[in-house]
Amino acid sequence: MAERAPTFQFATLSQQREADALGMWAFLATELLFFGALIAGYFAYRVTYGDEFIAAARHTKVVLGTANTAVLLTSSACMAMAVHSTEQRARGSAALWFALTALLGLAFIAIKGFEYFEEYREQLVPALNFAVGRYGGVTQLFFIFYFVATGLHALHLTIGVAMIATLAVLAASDRLPSSQPVRMIGLYWHFVDMVWIFLFPLIYLAGRNG
Amino acid sequence: MSARAKVVLRVWIALLALLAATTALAFAPLGSATLFVSLAIAAAKALLVLMIFMELKASSGLVRAFAAAGFFWLAILFALTMADYSHRRDVPAPIDPPAQASIRG
């Protein structure tokens, strides 16, 4: 099956492709500054509170965080294969790769949820049950950052899972969209992965050798 | 296996190898260099994702410029924010009220 003709406002398909990519990257730039400001906040805390802030990171679950990073990196590879299969109009393998990507996204959220539950049990959740007397105020500040950053990341991931699960259903029921929207959703998914690539060392690996 | 699938497989293996390296190095006694090592590895991972998975390697200069714009503004945000915080001292100015409130518990 050939790709569709360009929509009416574009002269050629390649012009439409470039316009799509430019618009998507402009949106991702706003997302980059959104998460970037959060991470700048992290470094401001780190500079202000020093070793006390870094040591707070030792309360995070490094095994779960590392496993989740592997899950997310793998899901990105699966999404790259899904985009490739869509370009080849290989409907069956596209459906499979979409499903695998969405399932890995769900696995990430499940592991994250378990992690949040463990942190609740250890009284590490600010505004719910944080034990300031036991952990101290700087650790509380770290965990405020932790829950805001990972929560916003998980929200982005949930939106991505919903879109990719929809693509899996469309591909499986013989309504595979053209490769352009699929590639844009791919860009979004890889971006969310990239945010995690930076959150992971800052949250889970800080203070491990202290 | 198609050429693209081979590339994706290689990048995936490289990403997992970098993840193993950064996790192992985090426990090594590198002192304050740990932060820079882990951020350098994160940057290498991000570059692989940007160039191969997000196809910037095969994109036009204009698309790459749009992608770079976000990072450029982020660099400004970081430079000005950290220039402020890294030059603050824990010494109150004469005008500050005595007995500053502290969040230390």
The tokens for A55 are 């040591």
Question: Could you tell me where the DSSP H helices lie in A50-178?
Answer: 51-56, 62-87, 91-121, 132-135, 137-172
**pLDDT at residue B94 tops 80:** no
Size of interface A-B (CB pairs under 8 A): 150
The band of B96, judged by pLDDT with boundaries at 50, 70 and 90, is: low
How far CA A38 is from CA of A32, A96, B60, in Å, comes to: 10, 35, 30
Mean pLDDT of chain A: 95
The tokens for A191 are 């971006």
CA–CA distance, A206 with A188 (Å, rounded to integer):
27
Residue A41's nearest CA partner among A122, A141, A157 is A141
Q: Return the residue of B nearest to A26 by Cα.
A: B66
pLDDT at residue A210 in the model:
73
Contact check, Cβ <8 Å, B73/A33: yes
Q: Return the residue of B nearest to A48 by Cα.
A: B85
pLDDT at residue B50 in the model:
98
pLDDT at residue B99 in the model:
58
Residue B43's nearest CA partner among A202, A24, A208, A1 is A202
- Alpha carbon A80 to its chain centroid, in Å, reads 15
Per the CB < 8 A criterion, the answer to whether A161 and A109 are in contact is: yes
**pLDDT at residue A15 tops 70:** yes
Q: How far is A201 from chain B (nearest CA, A)?
A: 6
Contacts of A75 in chain B (CB under 8 A): none
Residue B67's nearest CA partner among A15, A189, A28 is A28
The band of A6, judged by pLDDT with boundaries at 50, 70 and 90, is: confident
Specify the residue for token string 């020093």. A50
**pLDDT at residue A1 tops 50:** no
DSSP B103: -
Contact check, Cβ <8 Å, B66/A29: yes
Q: How far is B15 from chain A (nearest CA, A)?
A: 7
Q: What's the average model confidence in pLDDT over B10-28?
A: 97
Per the CB < 8 A criterion, the answer to whether A94 and A176 are in contact is: yes
Q: Is B36 on the interface with A (CB under 8 A)?
A: no
CA–CA distance, A55 with A142 (Å, rounded to integer):
10
pTM of the full structure? 0.92
Contact check, Cβ <8 Å, B19/A69: yes
Per the CB < 8 A criterion, the answer to whether B88 and A50 are in contact is: no
Across the interface, of B16, B23, B59, the residue whose CB is closest to A73 is B16
The band of B31, judged by pLDDT with boundaries at 50, 70 and 90, is: confident
pLDDT digit string, tens, across residues B45-81: 999 999 999 999 999 999 999 999 999 999 999 999 9
pLDDT digit string, tens, across residues A71-95: 999 999 999 999 999 999 999 999 9
Across the interface, of A40, A74, A205, the residue whose CB is closest to B38 is A205
Contact check, Cβ <8 Å, B81/A44: yes
Contact check, Cβ <8 Å, A137/B103: yes
CA–CA distance, A109 with A98 (Å, rounded to integer):
17
How many beta carbons lie within 10 A of that of residue A20, not counting itself? 17
Across the interface, of B28, B60, B82, the residue whose CB is closest to A43 is B82
pLDDT at residue B100 in the model:
54
How many beta carbons lie within 10 A of that of residue A1, not counting itself? 7
Q: What percent of chain A has pLDDT over 90?
A: 91
CA–CA distance, A146 with A190 (Å, rounded to integer):
21
Contact check, Cβ <8 Å, A137/B104: yes
The band of B92, judged by pLDDT with boundaries at 50, 70 and 90, is: low
Q: What's the average model confidence in pLDDT over A54-74?
A: 97
Q: Is B85 on the interface with A (CB under 8 A)?
A: yes
The band of A202, judged by pLDDT with boundaries at 50, 70 and 90, is: very high
pLDDT at residue B87 in the model:
83
Q: How far is A134 from chain B (nearest CA, A)?
A: 9
Across the interface, of A36, A44, A84, the residue whose CB is closest to B74 is A36
**Counting Cβ atoms within 10 Å, is residue B83 exposed (0-12), middle (13-18) or buried (19+)?**
exposed
Largest CA-CA distance found in chain B, in angstroms, rounded: 71
Amino acid letter for position B68: A
Q: Is B72 on the interface with A (CB under 8 A)?
A: no
Q: What percent of chain A has pLDDT over 70?
A: 98
Q: What's the average model confidence in pLDDT over B39-48?
A: 98
**pLDDT at residue B91 tops 70:** no
CA–CA distance, B83 with B87 (Å, rounded to integer):
6
